[in-house]
């Protein structure tokens, strides 16, 4: 039987500038989920990319004396470079300026128009240029854009409209009947109560005030609204075609998870379902609006001058330390905070002490006492049971948390193994066993430690892939599959370990 498929996407990042650590958090989060699903045996397709059209980008390019295409080419490759630095295992990096995407967006627009879901009208409203959103008076907060807090301006234009109002009842019913469709619950309730129940107005889906967009195929002075353009990336890049969807599309759609930030849940849970229904397609299984990463408890903004960039952090601390921090520090539903001090604290306490020391001490002792060879005499003691229990129950916990997208809790469950193993060293005091020439017991103690580390490293691999690989290298083991952690005791006897090498060097103040 074929493996079950899993299609996961991130938001596609605006090519308005270099992505900060908050944007980068999302790709790392998606990567951890994708890697975990692969570890579990799923056939995974993981898509990310860049969102490249719109007035804001046209303006930015102009400021720099570049054509929009030159500008987005540069920024898109910078974004891809950072995704690669973070060791993210996406299968495809898509761009909304790709020809295949542009062509399909035009075909979809035409289909929606032909069936009467899009019609020509006139738009009068309050427009926020940076967010490319029209607002009604009642949606404004203190007279400003409710998303970004900036000024809005009165604008009026001939425009095409999408009949969003037509889908209101169906959408409300769908969200209520499918409580997991929008997660966390707080986001779902926000969508229902603040946006859907008060009433959906038809949505303006074309613009004439700038050029940098996909032209409406039958009325070239209009370009397609950037959110209609952007959202459809999830289907155009897996072979969707209005007339003839490919086998690839049939295989992957509906997506299993759209992972996005909390600020854009509205677009994904209101506009996107309506567009899909208009195209007579199924909805994605889940939309998850993750919280934000703040720096010094403040919103990250390039203009605020507090932006921290992933590549700078990686240069200083290494890629897995940055991955660990963002994955561990951002809880399921609340914003997380990043400062250099907090990162260094976590690095020293969790990575250097709990994990790094454990691995280094264990492999060093095995070198010292048994010349690097993996040995066991099966001389058991009661204290072993609790260690083995903790190690063997981790898998189920990690699985449960990953299914709920509680990534920070999942990592914590992996670290429980390492914490418990450190305690086991204190309890068994191998150096005293050695001094007392209690060699048989010493063999079992070191074997239990090495095996706990192996199992921990398998579970760690979606989060810290390089570290996990380095542990396997030092353990010189092939027992790295997900199935291999169903049994305690598979680390190969007689193998020679590689020499110990510290995983994380403590940062001194
Ligand atoms: O919204 N912490 O692009 P974008 C965590 N092009 N996540 C954050 C964040 C923070 N401080 N700041 C932003 C767009 N994000 C659109 C998406 S999808 C069809 C189109 C998240 O570059 C944000 O929520 O502004 C979004 O999910 C992603 O970074 C890209 O943001």
**CATH code of the domain covering residue 431:** 1.10.730.10
- Asked, for residue 358, whether it belongs to a domain, the answer is yes
| pLDDT of the residue at 1 | 53
Give the separation between CA 269 and CA 284, rounded to whole angstroms. Answer: 10
Ordered strands of the 118-128 beta sheet: 133-135, 118-128, 153-162, 203-204
Which of 23, 303, 304, 337 gets mutated to test ligand 1 (max ligand atoms within 8 A of its CB)?
23
Q: How many domains does the chain have?
A: 1
| The residue count for the chain | 509
The per-residue pLDDT for 276 is: 98
Our answer on whether the CB atom of 300 is closer than 6 Å to any ligand 1 atom is yes
pTM of the model: 0.94
The encoded tokens of residue 476 equal 């010189």
- Residue 302 CA to ligand 1 center (angstroms) comes to 13
- 406 lies in a domain? yes
Please tell me the residue having the least CA distance from ligand 1 atom 30.
Answer: 13
pLDDT score at 136: 83
Which of 22, 72, 226, 233 for a ligand 1 pocket mutation test, highest count of atoms within 8 Å of Cβ? 22
List residues bridging with 206 in a β-sheet: 224
CA atoms of 271 and 122, how far apart (whole Å): 20
Which protein residue has the closest C-alpha to ligand 1 atom 26?
A: 261
Eight-state DSSP code of residue 196: I
The two tokens of residue 367 are 């070198």
What Cα–Cα distance (Å) separates residue 357 from each residue in 110, 131, 305, 505? Answer: 61, 48, 37, 10
Provide the 8-state DSSP code for 86.
T
State residue 440's pLDDT score. 97
**Tens-binned pLDDT, residue by residue, of the chain (509 aa):** 567 999 999 999 999 999 999 999 999 999 999 999 999 999 999 999 999 999 999 999 999 999 999 999 999 999 999 999 999 999 999 999 999 999 999 999 999 999 999 999 998 889 888 887 778 888 899 999 988 899 999 988 789 999 999 999 999 999 999 999 999 999 999 999 999 999 999 999 999 889 999 999 999 999 999 999 999 999 999 999 999 999 999 999 999 999 999 999 999 999 999 999 999 999 999 999 999 999 888 888 766 777 899 999 999 999 999 999 999 998 788 899 999 999 999 999 999 999 999 999 999 999 999 999 999 999 999 999 999 999 999 999 999 999 999 999 999 999 999 999 999 999 999 999 999 999 999 999 999 999 999 999 999 999 999 999 999 999 999 999 999 999 999 999 999 999 999 999 999 97
Name, in order, each residue with C-beta under 8 angstroms of 295's C-beta and a sequence gap of 6 or more.
21, 306, 307, 308, 337, 338, 339
Q: Would 36 be classed as within a structural domain?
A: no
Task: Give all strands (DSSP E) within 251-344, no chain letters.
Answer: 257-261, 287-290, 293-295, 336-338
Confidence at residue 125, expressed as pLDDT on a 0 to 100 scale: 84
Q: How far is CA 59 from CA 23, 67, 69, 72, 212, in A?
A: 21, 10, 12, 12, 10
- Quick one: angle between helices 21-40 and 68-85, nearest 10? 50
Contacts of 439 (CB under 8 A, 6+ apart): 369, 377, 433
Structure tokens that stand for 314 in this block: 């990686």
In a domain, 421, yes or no: yes
Can you list the positions of beta strands (E) in 136-274? 153-162, 182-183, 203-204, 206-207, 223-224, 257-261
Per-residue pLDDT, 303: 65
Q: How far apart are CA 290 and CA 7, in angstroms?
A: 18
CB-CB contact of 264 with 248 (8 Å)? no
**Does 468 reside within a domain?**
yes
Cα of 291 from ligand 1 centre, angstroms:
11
Q: Is residue 382 part of a domain?
A: yes
* CA-16 nearest atom, ligand 1: 22
Rounded CA-CA distance 191/189 in Å is 5
Cis peptide before 405 (omega within 30 of 0): no
Q: In the 8-state DSSP scheme, what is residue 3?
A: P
Asked whether 51 lines ligand 1 (CB < 6 A), one says: yes
CA of 473 to the centre of ligand 1 (A): 36
Backbone angles phi, psi at 82, to 5 degrees: -70, -40
- How many other β-carbons are positioned within 10 Å of the β-carbon of residue 486? 11
Residues in a beta bridge with 44 = 6
- The residues pairing with 46 across neighbouring beta strands, listed in sequence order, are 8
Pair 160, 110: CB distance under 8 Å: no
**Does ligand 1 come within 6 angstroms of the Cβ of 497?**
no
The values of phi and psi at residue 178, to 5°, are: -125, 80
Query: Ligand 1 centroid vs 429 CA: distance in angstroms?
Result: 50
Q: Within 13 A of 431's CA, how many CA atoms are on the CB side?
A: 4
In angstroms, the CA 26 to CA 259 distance is 8
Cβ 317 vs Cβ 347: under 8 Å: yes
Q: CB neighbours of 447 closer than 8 A, spacing ≥ 6?
A: 374, 375, 376, 491
Nearest to 274 by CA among 380, 194, 202, 367: 202
Helix intervals (H) in 140-246: 168-177, 185-190, 226-231, 233-236
Kindly state whether residue 506 falls inside one of the protein's structural domains: no
Report yes or no: 391 and 488 within 8 Å, Cβ to Cβ.
yes
User: Does ligand 1 lie within 6 Å of residue 283's CB atom?
Assistant: no
Ligand 1: distance of its center to the CA of 11 in Å? 6
The phi, psi pair for 196, rounded to 5°, reads -80, -50
The finding on whether 83 has its CB within 6 A of some atom of ligand 1 is no
36 close to 404: Cβ distance less than 8 angstroms: no
Domain that holds residue 464: 340-485
Round to whole Å and give the CA distance between 362 and 466.
19
* DSSP notation for 285-335: S-EEEE--EEETTB---TTTT----HHHHHHHH-HHHHHHHHHHHS-SSS-
Measured between alpha carbons, how far is 482 from 26 in angstroms, rounded to an integer? 25
Q: In this structure, is residue 143 part of a structural domain?
A: no
Q: How far is the CA of 147 from the centre of ligand 1 (A)?
A: 12
Pocket test for ligand 1, best of 56, 128, 261 (most atoms within 8 A of CB): 261
Does ligand 1 come within 6 angstroms of the Cβ of 12? yes
* pLDDT confidence of residue 2: 65
């Amino acid at each position: 039987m074929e493996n079950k498929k899993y299609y996961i996407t991130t938001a596609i990042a605006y090519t308005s500038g270099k992505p900060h650590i908050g944007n980068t958090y999302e790709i790392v989060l998606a990567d951890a989920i994708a890697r975990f699903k692969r570890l579990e045996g799923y056939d995974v397709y993981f898509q990310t990319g860049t969102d490249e059209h719109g007035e804001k980008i046209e303006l930015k390019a102009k400021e720099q004396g570049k054509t929009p295409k030159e500008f987005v080419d540069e920024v898109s490759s910078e974004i891809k470079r950072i995704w690669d630095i973070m060791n993210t295992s996406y299968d495809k990096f898509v761009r909304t300026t790709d020809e295949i995407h542009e062509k399909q967006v035009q075909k979809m627009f035409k289909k929606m128009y032909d069936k009467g879901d899009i019609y020509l009208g006139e738009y009068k409203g309050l427009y926020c240029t940076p967010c490319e959103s029209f607002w009604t008076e009642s949606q404004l907060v203190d007279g400003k854009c409710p998303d970004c807090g900036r000024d809005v301006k009165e604008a009026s234009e001939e425009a095409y409209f999408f009949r969003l109002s037509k889908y209101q009842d169906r959408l409300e019913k769908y969200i209520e009947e499918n409580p997991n469709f929008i997660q966390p619950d707080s986001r779902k309730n926000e969508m229902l109560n603040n946006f859907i129940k008060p009433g959906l107005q038809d949505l303006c889906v074309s613009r004439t005030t700038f050029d940098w967009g996909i032209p409406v195929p039958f009325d070239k002075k209009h370009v397609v609204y950037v959110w209609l353009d952007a959202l459809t990336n999830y289907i155009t890049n897996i072979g969707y075609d209005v007339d003839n969807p490919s086998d690839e599309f049939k295989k992957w759609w509906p997506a299993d998870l759209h992972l996005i930030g909390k600020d854009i849940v509205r677009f994904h849970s209101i506009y996107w379902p309506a567009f899909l229904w208009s195209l007579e397609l199924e909805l994605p299984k889940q939309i998850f609006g993750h919280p934000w990463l703040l720096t010094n408890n403040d919103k990250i903004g390039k203009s605020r001058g507090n932006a921290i960039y992933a590549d700078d952090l990686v240069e200083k601390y290494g890629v897995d330390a940055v991955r660990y921090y963002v994955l561990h520090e951002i809880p399921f539903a609340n914003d997380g905070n990043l400062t250099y001090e907090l990162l260094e604290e976590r690095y020293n306490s969790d990575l250097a002490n709990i994990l790094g020391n454990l691995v280094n001490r264990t492999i060093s002792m095995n070198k010292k006492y048994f010349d690097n060879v993996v040995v066991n005499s099966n001389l058991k003691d009661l204290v072993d049971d609790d260690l083995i229990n903790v190690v063997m129950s981790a898998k189920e916990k990690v699985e449960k948390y990953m299914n709920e997208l509680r990534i920070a809790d999942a990592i914590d469950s992996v670290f429980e193994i390492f914490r418990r193993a450190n305690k086991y060293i204190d309890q068994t005091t191998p150096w005293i066993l050695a001094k007392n020439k209690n060699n048989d017991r010493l063999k079992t103690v070191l074997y239990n430690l090495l095996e706990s580390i192996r199992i921990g490293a398998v579970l760690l691999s979606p989060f810290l892939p390089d570290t996990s690989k380095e542990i396997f290298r030092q353990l010189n083991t092939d027992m790295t599959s997900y199935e291999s952690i169903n049994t305690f005791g598979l680390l190969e006897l007689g193998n020679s370990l590689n020499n110990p090498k510290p995983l994380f060097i403590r940062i001194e103040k």
